Chains A and B, each alone.
Chain A
């Protein structure tokens, strides 16, 4: 099923027309967000931290989808840094998601190239290039296929600096991978493997929630002195458009973003789940008068505990939501850490709304994903506790 035409409007938000049940679900969610953006200037989608966007004013933005924001960031990174490389499977012709379109023409075969079909080779190659001072931006076609490279990421990239006493490092390396549910991806085009990587000292894990976030966080990840795994929400690639600064800017790693302020419960998520949390927050506000504070974690390792802690100390309630299976998901880390820090402030047990502990299923996807409805019910349960 293809989404049909799209229609930009004055708010700079463009959404595809409904096609499948799942896609229309996304679109409803985003339409809701668009309405909120249009009528509320104080809450939701905060403007970028101007400290991190020197010289960029509101006039220097243009409506950009997630995919083009990533593409912009790659153009800027390769332009600014002559040692930056961009490679992976099918990257040369623009990528299967079109995130690398135009790079080959502009920067040439030496810097933008296809590799053989081998994920362990892609990451291993990137580590070696980074060890020589290059800035490799490697692409794994789907996060589901990052596992053949897990030895290179866990045993090599993450430990390169530590094991050499700081003499060598592969900090220039960034590994991009599309992740998450997409409506019909089944087992191997839907996974959210972030928790495998947050368990690994030595790498950073970044998961942007929208186009503006993606561009600033990707540029920060590429410039970061440590290897970064950068998960891109593939469901958002073309379904959400925001006004994104046209120039270069970075969003600092390790800092969460308060998406929406509220005093009754803190909702924590990342990547494409942030929009689900916003939708659930709007539902419970409308139907129950519950005021949610929504936090987009942005960086999972190292994560911004201070922001979450301050919020939970204010609200007394915590809900963490992610698409990945619940057991040993990164939500467990957030809940454990906040339970310890905010023990006396908590008025209900911190709770998690996540994927079930099954492989990601095809026809059951609408029931599997932690939908806004499930999140809203959990918010009500928490507030009634």
Chain B
């Protein structure tokens, strides 16, 4: 004990010495850096290109900058050697020393997974003493539930319509309704949403109609995107919902750049970007989280961890503690939430939004759920997972959980439930019927919007296509010539 006490006192003193020295080193580095930033000695038309010093990338090639970097490590070494400090300021941050050879992470040091925040149990009963900083009132609860039911109704009927061959492709949100709508409800209308493809519930919540969706799926002139993209690649300018694109995770750095721009414009808004746990394996996930943290972008990363990326189970996607385990290593506040509990997702997102705006920083949310449906209409998931597993999760339907919650509060009853289901069904069927009669965009729209103005080569090609179609009207396949 005595020895330890001495050690601590000695260390304190030595630490202080080291700090003084390091401050001196830092100030000298800073001076050099300021000189560098002023740039006078380099703004010189007569210097040769830097490449002529060294073609090797990544190293500073300007001679004066190397004098600063040479100076820093030399003095740092002296300071640590003299006082045996128990920590050191590396250029990348202050780090304590240890005399234990100890590897962190992985199989050698298993740690408890991050806990999953929930406020409702699997039946929809309230967890006592659960933290609920952002309570859900009756109006909000009913709007959320209404959207959940509409999303489920639409998913069932659109899925069937696709199976009947009325349009080419579809994807449902079964099992993830609470994640999508609970988070969307916690956003402001001014927040911009960047979506993967399984988040059309957020668009429904913002007022995008069944008809808007149906027109897009049929590729009609009135549908978003003028029939150019596959079904479910929605977007809406008025709803601040950027157009979906198929390449996974590409939208993550977009959301960071957008959040940065919103910050500079002085807007009190965040961007929210959705992605699955499979997409989080892409390089763009890494780029986005790192950029968001280093550039202080108020963006909410909302990961839908539904256990499957098409046929690949999450256990073949990562070995760490899911997606949430990665957030802190980027310096990002992170939380794991029960994606089947709408109230938990709402609270986590509302709190994340508050943190992002107050601290001008990104926040990561990992919502744990289960993809109860097939990946898409081109997928039969019974080929890679068991009916039992799917059955268990279907029984934990997020809409039913929330239904029980609002019934328990006395906000909902069987009559209203029946009415909502009947009305939603009718609205979806009507939308599909109307959209099926919709007009396709004219042939000229094949060539517009590639650029802001059509360049000469596209004008030529548009004329060629027009001439071909006039000669062979069958080739139009129902596309109007004009």
Contact = CB atoms under 8 A, between A and B. Distances in A.
Interface of A: 1-3, 5-6, 14, 16, 19, 23, 63-65, 67-68, 71, 83, 85, 90, 92-94, 96-98, 101-102, 104-105, 110-111, 113, 115-118, 120-121, 123-134, 136, 141-142, 145, 148, 151-152, 155-156, 159-169, 171, 182-186, 188-189, 201-202, 204, 225-226, 234-235, 237-239, 241, 254, 302, 305-306
11 contacts: A83-B264, A124-B287, A129-B258, A129-B260, A163-B243, A164-B242, A165-B449, A168-B242, A182-B51, A185-B51, A239-B49
B192 A132 contact: yes
A127 to B, nearest CB: 5
B110 interface: no
B425 interface: no
A195 B429 CA distance: 49
Given A16-B48, A161-B450, A151 B247 contact: yes
B290 interface: yes
Given A1-B52, A161-B451, A162-B449, 7 more contacts: A90-B60, A97-B51, A125-B253, A134-B257, A155-B245, A155-B250, A302-B457
Interface stretch (B88-96, B223-231, B306-314): B223-231
A14 B45 contact: yes
Contacts of A166: 226, 448-449
A147 to B, nearest CB: 12
A134 B229 contact: no
B286 interface: yes
B65 interface: yes
Interface stretch (B33-41, B117-125, B400-408): B33-41
B264 A124 contact: no
B456 interface: yes
Contacts of B224: 164-165, 167
Contacts of A134: 257, 261, 264
A244 to B, nearest CB: 11
B73 to A, nearest CB: 19
Contacts of B233: 163
B45 A238 contact: yes
B250 A152 contact: yes
Contacts of B260: 125, 128-129
Contacts of B245: 155-156, 159, 163
Contacts of B50: 96-98
A124 B286 contact: no
List the 3 closest A-B pairs by CB distance, nearest first.
A124-B253, A128-B257, A121-B287
A48 to B, nearest CB: 20
Contacts of A129: 257-258, 260-261
Contacts of B53: 2
A189 B184 CA distance: 46
B36 A93 contact: yes
A152 B452 contact: no
Nearest to A160: B243
A160 B291 CA distance: 21
Contacts of B451: 161, 202, 204, 225-226, 302
A115 B288 CA distance: 11
Contacts of A130: 257
A160 B57 CA distance: 31
A133 B261 contact: yes
B391 interface: no
A118 B291 contact: yes
Contacts of A3: 48, 52
Nearest to A121: B287
B55 interface: yes
Nearest to B253: A124
Contact of B235 (A118, A162, A164, A184): A164
Contact of B39 (A16, A85, A101, A225): A101
A202 B291 contact: no
Contact of B288 (A92, A121, A162, A182): A121
